[in-house]
Amino acid sequence: MQDRFLTTGRVLPELAAKLGLTGLAGRASGQAWDARAQFPCVPYDQLDVQMATHRNGDVAARVIVRFEEVAESIRLIRLMLEQLPAGELLSDVGNALEGSMGIGWVEGWRGEILVALHAGRDNRIHRLHPHDPSWQNWPVLEHAIMGNIVPDFPLINKSFNLSYSGVDL
């Protein structure tokens, strides 16, 4: 397994930075970026998010980052449950005014997710644009597969775990 994971599908940190590789694939290639750490919103601003990063940029590094992310997620969930305030779990936010716009930006497991919403008449959605980080990462996959054997393509592809449609957030 190490023979197949180590050095396979490698994306060097310089190329990752140049092409804007994001999410766990980016962090496995030395890109120390996580919106939960750099721009923490509630509740992450109270939790000291530990970002997992590696520099090898190969399948092995992406697997390691994934396991470290799972461990960090479990730690964060435990902290959130311990600090959960008493009170209502659900509250009414009211209706959006027609023509209102909103933008949400969060760290997803593939990287940064941006959602833009334009409210329509009768509290309906007029326009919605979800931006999956797969759109940034697909071009990097082309570089990752170069120089590898054909049977390693599925391994490299799945180590990035990108969305084919770009909307399965």
pLDDT greater than 90 at residue 74: yes
Looking at residue 88, its pLDDT comes to 87
Looking at residue 68, its pLDDT comes to 96
More reliable by pLDDT, 156 or 164: 156
Looking at residue 144, its pLDDT comes to 96
Within 8 A by CB and 6+ apart from 32, the residues are 51, 53
Looking at residue 64, its pLDDT comes to 96
Is 20 contained in some domain?
yes
Return the residue matching tokens 């760290």.
107
pTM as predicted? 0.86
Query: Rounded mean pLDDT of the chain?
Result: 92
- The answer to whether the CB of 113 falls within 8 A of the CB of 132 is yes
Is 107 contained in some domain?
no
First-to-final CA distance of the chain: 30
- The answer to whether the CB of 131 falls within 8 A of the CB of 113 is yes
Is 104 contained in some domain?
no
Is 119 contained in some domain?
no
- Domain count of the fold of the chain: 1
Is 45 contained in some domain?
yes
pLDDT greater than 90 at residue 165: no
Looking at residue 167, its pLDDT comes to 59
- Report pLDDT digits (tens) over 23-70: 999 999 999 999 999 999 889 999 999 999 999 999 999 999 999 999
Return the residue matching tokens 């959605």.
125
Tokens of 97: 């005014």
- Report pLDDT digits (tens) over 84-126: 888 888 888 889 999 999 999 999 888 999 999 999 999 999 9
C-alpha distances (whole Å) from 153 to each of 116, 141, 147, 149 are 34, 10, 11, 7
Within 8 A by CB and 6+ apart from 65, the residues are 24, 27, 28, 52, 53, 54
Is 53 contained in some domain?
yes
Give 169's pLDDT tier (boundaries 50, 70, 90).
low
Is 145 contained in some domain?
yes
Between CA 21 and CA 81 the distance in angstroms is 32
Give the pLDDT mean for 132-149. Answer: 93
How much of the chain, in percent, has pLDDT values that exceed 90? Answer: 74
